[in-house]
Structure 1
Amino acid sequence: MENNREIIFKDTNLVSKANSIVEATYKLGVMEQKIISVIASNIHPNDKDFQTYTFSIKQFGDLIGSKSKNLYKEVDKITTQLMQPFLFINHEGKPTRIAWLSKATYNINEGSVTVRFDPDLKPFFLLLNQKFTRYKLGNILHLRSNYSIRLYELLKSYEGLTERTFTLEELRAKLGLQDKYPVWINFRQRVIDHAQAELAKKTDISFTYDAIRKGRSIHKIKFKIKTNSSSDQIIKIEEDTYSQDVIDIQRLGLEIGMNLNKKVITEWLNYGKNNIVELMQSIKYDDTIKNPIGYISAVLPKKATTDEQLALFDDDKSILIEKAIREFIMSKLPKRKVTRIEKIPHYMHRNDALEILKKYFDEEESKRIWEEQGAEITEKLYEESQSKLIKAPSL
């Protein structure tokens, strides 16, 4: 008879994975990786076979801090995807197709899902007597990027050795990014720098890194790994901050004549404290709004979506870089049709480009961006300038 266990959700659950699956080449989204780790953290050390596990979708959403209003549909979709065979490279270098789950039952009336790992995954999760990586579940549950989760596991497996070096091509493959972010600076900012900030703030390890060049191109990334001693305090700090946020919003409400209960504030906080404060202050002297609580409840989701997008743009800087590059190219394009376009070496554009880049970044960062992308930007400028060229009449 098949044994079924109810999944226990605890940040302190231990996730154990064979290094061969940690090192494998595959791609999973954020939710998919978290579901795999939650299941893995409920395997008992003496289990000889996979059990079935039932988890409450609401509990899972609460645990990972999901704000999705369609979590039930998302979990159903994700578990279906996890049952599809995917291609990965095993520890012997052999391309292999395997599914993460062999079973996923959606218990519609119970608000839960029952799942089981595919039997072919046994060597990676059961009776681990080879090299394996172990970490507390809470380290990855609060990460927002799937690349951060993968990079965390890859570096965690080398934590005791303090250093880990990948070729850029190898790292792209392990993160499932072979064709995405082909320009180094975008890859660095959107993937590595973002993961660096997340891991330092939310996990038990942090890292610095050096980009090693081969000629003019980045060839390898050398990571230096260190233990983050403040990680045990992260969850408690988040909980304390959340409680203080409720108090702060209540006080601000009273100052502007709004008596807010904790339930309303708790719902609002899903969209960010700063967004709430800005909206409350913006309507402070607006007499046309007769139902301020209803107004904020209606406007907040739209504002949060816009602000979250802008925050992401600011965090990884890539959008600002693209904006600055576009401004530079537009400033250099001929204003009217011309009969001849000369290809100017990129170093001759340096000063003009830096003037525009410094509108968005400090001097050091501006110089680094131009050093890394100057030749590429100049080539793009030359290509776009061709559109201003008067074509010779055909004979």
Structure 2
Amino acid sequence: MQAPAIQQQQYNSAVTKANALIEANYKLSTLEQKIILYLISQISKDDDDFKMYSLPIQEFSELLGYRGSPKYTELREITKNLMRKVLEIREGQKLKQLSWVSYVEYDVHSGYVSLAFDPRLKPYLLQLKREFTTYRLKNVMELKSSYSIRMYELLKRWQYIGEAVLRLDDLRMMVGAGDKYSEYHNFKKRVLNPARKEISEKTDIIFTYEEIREKRKVVALRFQIKEKAIEPIAIEEKKDATVDDQYLQFLAVVQAYDRYITEKQFTKIAILAQKAFGDNWMDELIQTTRRIMQRNDIREPIAFLTYFLNEKVQRIQAGIDPNEVTVHSGTKVVRREIVPDWLRDYEEKLAAESSGGKETDEDIEQMRRELEERLKKYRD
């Protein structure tokens, strides 16, 4: 039985990895993967260097599924083995071999175990701005198969597209199967199908796959990845794990275009989207965002999205048809001129206010009013 404190406080944390690390080749047991992912979830997005990441030895023991008093001998063997594990990262013509953990310290007096990542992992875990994947830790902590965990990560990496084509030999190495299931029918039976069942039952995505053959031999797999439906909620009234899941879903969309958005920025946008789109606001918001991101004439797409949603909300409040507001280039409502420079200032202000973490509903409304004043001269 796992410790309630860990589940409630830490399992809802986010795991963020560079895509190069997601696609690395390595073999870790289920327990070893959960230790690594738990540690990664403790990294703050503002960290510019690794720290010693600690947790109570009792909770560490429970995290690994042990009951009763901590079994120090077994715990030490687990961390010693973890320090020996090597991962391989390919970058162009380079092949890098690294260890996950470089130092472990048990302090029986304080009751804590502390672990340090190998410093060479910094480019893959710290200050990530592009080419990264984020997901909620809770989605992997209930998975019992190491293959399921790795399959989940790889599918999350391609979720924003909804499809991924992976060569079979590469996939075997990435999930840690190596040459264990050299015959495809064994790999399908022992890895693919169990992972599909477990991921569908316990995580936020589902997937199907089809086989790609060359001369009747399966050489690659084409995966179709879908997000599980999320019940819409009123963000103004409730902030819980569902909102966090919606943020990660939206983040996956914007990061596909090498953009980033904070959770508080998303909350503000989501409030407007609910007013603009109604019950189906999340799907509409994602579709709208993708259309905006694909336009070459919009310099600040996040700011423009806010502008667009405000236009829709204002028309609804004025009793004017909001469907006249579109994101297509050259339309009457979204005008032909380049997005005004002040929108960049607005986006920067929004980000600055968000990072402070002290805004209230009144602050949000005040920012909206300021934006509306700026927009007046751009209306018909």
TM-score class normalised by the smaller sequence: 0.5 to 0.7
Query: Within 2, Cα distance between the matches of 1:19 and 1:218?
Result: 26
1:33 aligns with 2:33: yes
Describe the shift of the 1:229–1:14 C-alpha distance in structure 2 as closer, same or farther (beyond 3 A). same
Aligned letter for 1:181? Y
Return closer, same or farther for 1:210/1:150 CA change in 2, 3 Å cut-off: same
- Secondary structure at the counterpart of residue 153 of structure 1: helix
* Other-structure match for 1:210: 210
Does the residue aligned with 1:90 lie in a helix, a strand or coil?
Answer: strand
1:153 aligns with 2:153: yes
Cα distance per residue 1:313-357 (max 9 Å; x no partner)? xxxxxxxxxxxxxxxxxxxxxxxxxxxxxxxxxxxxxxxxxxxxx
**Superposed displacement of residue 84, structure 1:** 2.6
Question: Which residue does 2:10 correspond to in 1?
Answer: 10
SS at match of 2:91: coil
For 1:129-169, what per-residue CA distance to the aligned partner results, in whole angstroms no more than 9, with x for missing partners?
22101011101111111111111000101111000111111
Q: Does the 8 A contact of 2:61 with 2:75 survive in 1?
A: no
- When residues 72 and 208 of structure 1 are mapped into structure 2, their CA distance, relative to the original with a 3 A threshold, is farther
Q: Deviations over 1:239-267 (max 9, x none)?
A: xxxxxxxxxxxxxxxxxxxxxxxxxxxxx
CA shift, 1:11, in A, is: 1.7
Q: After TM superposition, give the deviation of residue 213 of structure 1 in Å.
A: 1.7
Q: 1:66 to 1:223 in 2, by over 3 A?
A: farther
Distance 1:224 1:67, change over 3 A: farther
- 1:340-359 aligned at under 5 Å gives the runs none
Superposition deviation, residue 19 in structure 1: 0.5
Q: Which runs of 5+ in 2 are unaligned?
A: 1-5, 233-240, 242-380
Seen in structure 2, the aligned counterparts of structure 1 residues 66 and 92 have a Cα distance that, compared at 3 Å, is farther
Deviation (angstroms), 1:22: 0.5
TM-score by length of 2: 0.55
SS in 1 for 2:160: helix
1:101 maps to: 101
Deviations 1:38-65 (A, max 9, x none): 1111111111111112112332344465
- Contact residue 18 and residue 124 of structure 2 kept, 8 A: yes
- Superposed, which structure 2 residues align to 1:19-58 within 5 Å? 19-58=19-58
Alignment of 1:252-263 (within 5 A): none
2:10 aligned partner, one-letter code: K
Q: CA contact under 8 A between 2:58 and 2:69: conserved in structure 1?
A: no
Query: In 2, are the aligned partners of 1:21 and 1:90 still within 8 Å (CA)?
Result: no
Identity of aligned residues (%): 39
Which residue number corresponds to residue 121 of structure 2? 121
Cα distance in 2 for residues equivalent to 1:38 and 1:192: 24
Q: Contact 2:11–2:137 (CA<8 Å) still a contact in 1? A: yes
Q: TM (normalized to structure 1)?
A: 0.53
Deviation at 1:95, TM superposition (A): 2.3
| Structure 1 residue aligned with 2:141 | 141
Deviations 1:17-45 (A, max 9, x none): 01110011111111111111111111111
**Is 1:112 matched up with 2:118?**
no
Query: Is 1:226 aligned to residue 226 of structure 2?
Result: yes
Tell me by how many angstroms 1:7 deviates.
Answer: 12
Does the Cα contact within 8 Å between 2:20 and 2:89 map onto a contact in 1? no
Aligned to 1:181: 181
Pair 220,170 (structure 1): closer, same or farther in 2 beyond 3 Å = same
Measured at CA, do residues 113 and 123 of structure 1 come closer, stay the same or move farther in structure 2, by a change above 3 Å? Answer: same
Instruction: Give the 3 Å change call, closer, same or farther, for CA 187–230 of structure 1 in structure 2.
Output: farther
Q: Quote the residue 1:364 is aligned against.
A: none
Alpha carbons 1:9, 1:63 under 8 Å: kept: no
Any conservation in 2 of the 1:24–1:91 contact (CA below 8 Å)?
A: no
Q: CA deviation at 1:186?
A: 1.6
Post-superposition CA distance 1:283-307 (Å, at most 9, x none) = xxxxxxxxxxxxxxxxxxxxxxxxx
Check the 8 A contact 2:58/2:70 in 1, yes or no.
no
Q: What SS class does the counterpart of residue 160 from structure 1 fall into?
A: coil
> CA 1:36–1:7 in structure 2 vs 1: closer, same or farther (change >3 Å)?
farther
1:70 and 1:62 mapped to 2: Cα distance?
8
Secondary structure (helix, strand or coil) at the match of 1:83 reads helix
* 2:88 aligned residue: 88
| Mean CA deviation greater in 82-91 or 11-20 | 82-91
Amino acid at match of 1:43: I
Larger radius of gyration: 1
Gaps of 5+ in 1: 1-5, 237-395
Distance 1:93 1:194 in 2: 34
Q: Secondary structure of the residue that 1:161 maps to in structure 2?
A: coil
Structure 2 residue aligned with 1:199: 199
> In structure 2, what residue type is equivalent to 1:177?
A
Could you tell me whether the CA contact under 8 Å between 1:85 and 1:97 is conserved in 2?
no
Task: Output the CA distance in 1 between the equivalents of 2:143 and 2:200.
Answer: 11
